[in-house]
Amino acid sequence: MLKPRMVIEYSLLVLGIVFLIFGAKLIIDGSSSLAKKFNISTLVIGLTIVAFGTSLPELVVNVFAALEGSSGVALGNIIGSNIANILLVLGLVVVITPVKVKYSTTWKEIPFSFLAIFVLFLLSNYFFFKKSGSFFMTRASGVILLLFFAAFMYYVVRSTMKHKAQPKNKELEIPKHNNFTITLMIILGLVGLYYGGQWVVGGAVFIAKQFGLSEFLISATVIAIGTSLPELVTGVTAALKHDLDLAVGNSIGSNIFNVLWILGITALIAPVLIPKFINFDMIFLMGITALLFLFMFIGKKRELGRFKGITMIILYISYLVIISTRG
């Protein structure tokens, strides 16, 4: 029988994820509408407010985790989200409909995503840097990640400016609201993010202690899937509308943001303790990113078909089983 404290913590964890998702959406819509009032271009809004806003749930969870010294939550949230974005989100998308991947995504974004994970692997790898004792990802590591992120954003801006005149590109739809509504949306969004972040981190730590599990496990499964829901909804909706560039680009771009921007900021706030078992998860993440690249050349060139999607989902279930048995 569940004790009242357990019911409260479970409920707050679920509510926290909901608050994070809707808080981020309110801030994106309110800020985008405000920016449009100042005649800021749709292109700039898409590259800044929307791009950064969709990563707010993961960022807020990691900031609270860093402040509370819960390194397992911070790492599990990012690594688990990235694995879910590739295997679960993309897997479900291509099961719904085969996806033809753009040339730039194949040869630039996916390799850059692999590079980001490899840099993180080097910065946080226990085996290479220290044989015994505790190892932390320091603020210097955070700076390095953010420098790589700046390089990625430079590429994104250059690429977008180069292709913005193409008639096939869809304009980002910016909601229009009055000043009172905008203010209310941003305030409610910030409140949702604040309490959502607190409840999610607190719930993860409580569940981990209650069942003798690692914070990393709870974060890499429950929290990671929860904070990946926006990417999942966006990807599936885009697939159903046959807006397939968005379906793939959303997942790959989110992974790069998660590793370079969010973990970079997390390490700047407080050093991140690296658990000894993290190598498996890092190598698995690099492996599935490399597999995604290889999938571009298996069967139809640069196409992800349903068989590949089913394979990805099976790999995701296998990963969940492995880390669950690890505890």
Q: What is the pLDDT along the chain (327 residues), one digit of tens a residue?
A: 567 778 888 898 889 988 988 888 888 888 888 877 877 766 556 556 766 777 788 888 888 888 888 888 889 999 999 999 999 989 988 888 888 888 888 888 899 999 999 999 988 875 565 555 567 888 999 999 999 999 998 888 787 677 655 544 455 566 678 888 988 998 998 898 889 988 988 888 888 888 888 888 888 988 888 888 777 777 777 777 766 666 677 788 889 999 999 999 999 998 888 887 888 999 999 999 999 999 989 888 888 888 999 999 999 999 999 998 886
Helix (H, G, I), strand (E, B) or coil at 315: helix
Rounded Cα distance between 163 and 185, Å, is: 32
Confidence (pLDDT) at 78: 92
Q: How many helices (H) and strands (E) does the chain have?
A: 18, 4
Per-residue burial over 156-190, b = 16 or more CB atoms within 10 Å of its CB, e = otherwise: eeeeeeeeeeeeeeeeeebeebeeeebeebbebbe
For 29, the token pair is 């819509």
Look at the pTM and tell me if it is higher than 0.75.
yes
Rounded Cα distance between 152 and 131, Å, is: 33
Confidence (pLDDT) at 99: 82
Q: What are the sequence ranges of the domains in the chain? A: 4-326
What amino acid is encoded at 18 in this protein? V
DSSP 8-state code for residue 169: S
Confidence (pLDDT) at 211: 81
Per-residue burial over 94-109, b = 16 or more CB atoms within 10 Å of its CB, e = otherwise: bbbbbbebeeebbeeb
CATH code of domain 4-326:
1.20.1420.30
Rounded Cα distance between 102 and 88, Å, is: 20
Rounded Cα distance between 223 and 185, Å, is: 24
Class of residue 154 by CB neighbours under 10 A (exposed 0-12, middle 13-18, buried 19+):
exposed
Q: Give the containing element (helix H, strand E) for 305.
A: none
Residue that is written with structure tokens 């807020």 in the block? 60
Q: What is the DSSP string of 170-228?
A: PPPPPP---HHHHHHHHHHHHHHHHHHHHHHHHHHHHHHHHHT--HHHHIIIIIHHHHT
For the chain, the distance separating the N- and C-terminal CA atoms, rounded to the nearest angstrom, is: 22
What amino acid is encoded at 91 in this protein? G
H-type alpha helices, 84-135? 90-96, 103-104, 110-124, 126-129
What value, to the nearest 5°, has the Cα angle with vertex 82 and ends 77 and 87? 125
Confidence (pLDDT) at 47: 53
Confidence (pLDDT) at 40: 72
